[in-house]
Structure 1
Amino acid sequence: MTATVPEASPVAVRPQRILIATDTYPPDVNGAAYFTHRLATGLAARGGDVHVVCASDDGRPRTERVDGVVLHRLRSARLLVHPTMRVAVPAGLGRTVDRLIERIEPDVVHTQGHFVVGRAAVGAARRGGVPVVATNHFMPDNLFQFAHIPAGLRDRVGTLAWRDFSRVFARADHVTTPTPIAAGLLTGKGFGREVEPVSCGIDLRRFRPQPRAWARLHFGVPERPTILFVGRLDEEKRLEELVRALPKVRNQLDAQVVLVGTGNQRESLELLADRIGVGEHVRFLGFVPDAELPQVYSVADVFAMPGVAELQSIATLEAMASGLPVVAADAMALPHLVDGNGFLYRPGEVAELAAHLTTVLGDEELRASMGRASLALAAGHDHQRSLARFEQIYLEVASR
Structure 2
Amino acid sequence: MRAILLSWEYPPMRVGGIAAALEGLAPALARAGVETHVVTCGDSGGAPEENPEPNLFLHRVTVSEPSDNFVHWVHLLNDKLDERADGLIREWQKKEARKKNKTPIVLHVHDWLGQFAGIALKHRYKLPMLSTIHATEFGRNGGIRTEGQHYINRCEWELASESWRVIVCSDFMRGEVEYALGVPWDKMDVLPNGVEARVFEGLEGDAWWNFRRRFASDNEKIVFFIGRPVHEKGAHVLVQALPRVRARGVNAKLVIAGGGVRGHLETLAGQLGVWDHVYFTGRVSDQDRDNLYQVADVAVFPSLYEPFGIVALEAMAAHTPVVVSDAGGLSEVVEHNVTGTTTYKGDPDSLAWGIARAVNDPGHSRWMAQNAYERVEKIFNWDVIAADTKAVYERVWDEYKASGWGG
State the TM-score bracket (shorter-chain normalisation).
0.7 to 0.9
* Cα shift at 1:195: 0.9
1:398 is the counterpart of 2:394: no
* Partner residue of 1:298 out of 287, 294, 301: 294
1:169 is the counterpart of 2:160: yes
1:359 is the counterpart of 2:357: yes
Alignment-mate amino acid for residue 354 of structure 2? H
Alignment-mate amino acid for residue 131 of structure 1? P
Alignment-mate amino acid for residue 26 of structure 1? P
Distance 2:332 2:77 in 1: 38
Distance 1:26 1:86 in 2: 18
Task: Please tell me whether the aligned partners of residues 327 and 345 of structure 1 are also in contact (alpha carbons under 8 angstroms).
Answer: yes
Root-mean-square deviation (Å): 3.0
1:70 is the counterpart of 2:57: yes
1:201 is the counterpart of 2:187: no
Deviation per residue, 1:32-61 (Å, 9 max, x gap): 02212322233234443221222331699x
Distance 2:62 2:343 in 1: 44
5 Å-filtered alignment, 1:108-119, equals: 108-115=106-113, 117-119=114-116
5 Å-filtered alignment, 1:186-265, equals: 186-189=177-180, 190-192=182-184, 194-207=187-200, 211=204, 214-219=207-212, 220-222=214-216, 223=218, 224-251=220-247, 252-264=249-261
* Cα shift at 1:365: 1.8
Please report the TM-score for the alignment, with normalisation by the length of structure 1: 0.83
* Cα shift at 1:20: 0.8
* Cα shift at 1:91: 5.5
**Against the structure 1 CA distance between its residues 154 and 195, is the aligned structure 2 distance closer, same or farther, given a 3 Å change threshold?**
same
Please give the secondary structure, in 2, of the residue aligned with 1:71: strand
2:89 alignment partner in structure 1: 101
1:54 alignment partner in structure 2: 40
Task: Please tell me whether the aligned partners of residues 136 and 177 of structure 2 are also in contact (alpha carbons under 8 angstroms).
Answer: no
* Cα shift at 1:119: 2.4
* Cα shift at 1:331: 1.1
* Cα shift at 1:22: 1.0
Distance 1:58 1:202 in 2: 23
* Cα shift at 1:389: 1.3
Distance 1:294 1:92 in 2: 33
* Cα shift at 1:164: 2.9
* Cα shift at 1:194: 1.8
Alignment-mate amino acid for residue 207 of structure 2? W
* Cα shift at 1:350: 0.8
Please give the secondary structure, in 2, of the residue aligned with 1:226: strand
1:346 is the counterpart of 2:344: yes
1:136 alignment partner in structure 2: 133
2:97 alignment partner in structure 1: none
Please give the secondary structure, in 1, of the residue aligned with 2:225: strand
5 Å-filtered alignment, 1:374-389, equals: 374-379=372-377, 380-389=379-388
Please give the secondary structure, in 2, of the residue aligned with 1:206: helix
**Against the structure 1 CA distance between its residues 176 and 101, is the aligned structure 2 distance closer, same or farther, given a 3 Å change threshold?**
same
2:99 alignment partner in structure 1: none
* Cα shift at 1:354: 0.8
Task: Please tell me whether the aligned partners of residues 208 and 323 of structure 1 are also in contact (alpha carbons under 8 angstroms).
Answer: no
* Cα shift at 1:79: 6.9
1:33 is the counterpart of 2:19: yes
2:314 alignment partner in structure 1: 318
Please give the secondary structure, in 2, of the residue aligned with 1:229: strand
Distance 2:172 2:276 in 1: 38
* Cα shift at 1:99: 4.2
Task: Please tell me whether the aligned partners of residues 98 and 125 of structure 1 are also in contact (alpha carbons under 8 angstroms).
Answer: no
Identity between Structure 1 and Structure 2 (%): 26
* Cα shift at 1:292: 4.0
2:100 alignment partner in structure 1: none
* Cα shift at 1:127: 2.7
1:10 alignment partner in structure 2: none
Aligned residues: 374
1:278 alignment partner in structure 2: 274
* Cα shift at 1:228: 0.9
1:124 alignment partner in structure 2: 121
Please give the secondary structure, in 2, of the residue aligned with 1:374: helix
* Cα shift at 1:375: 1.6
Alignment-mate amino acid for residue 258 of structure 2? G
Task: Please tell me whether the aligned partners of residues 37 and 59 of structure 2 are also in contact (alpha carbons under 8 angstroms).
Answer: yes
Distance 1:326 1:17 in 2: 38
* Cα shift at 1:218: 1.7
Distance 2:25 2:40 in 1: 14
Deviation per residue, 1:202-243 (Å, 9 max, x gap): 112223585486335225122221211122222321211101
Distance 1:104 1:63 in 2: 19
5+ long unaligned stretches in structure 1: 1-15, 145-150
Distance 2:59 2:32 in 1: 21
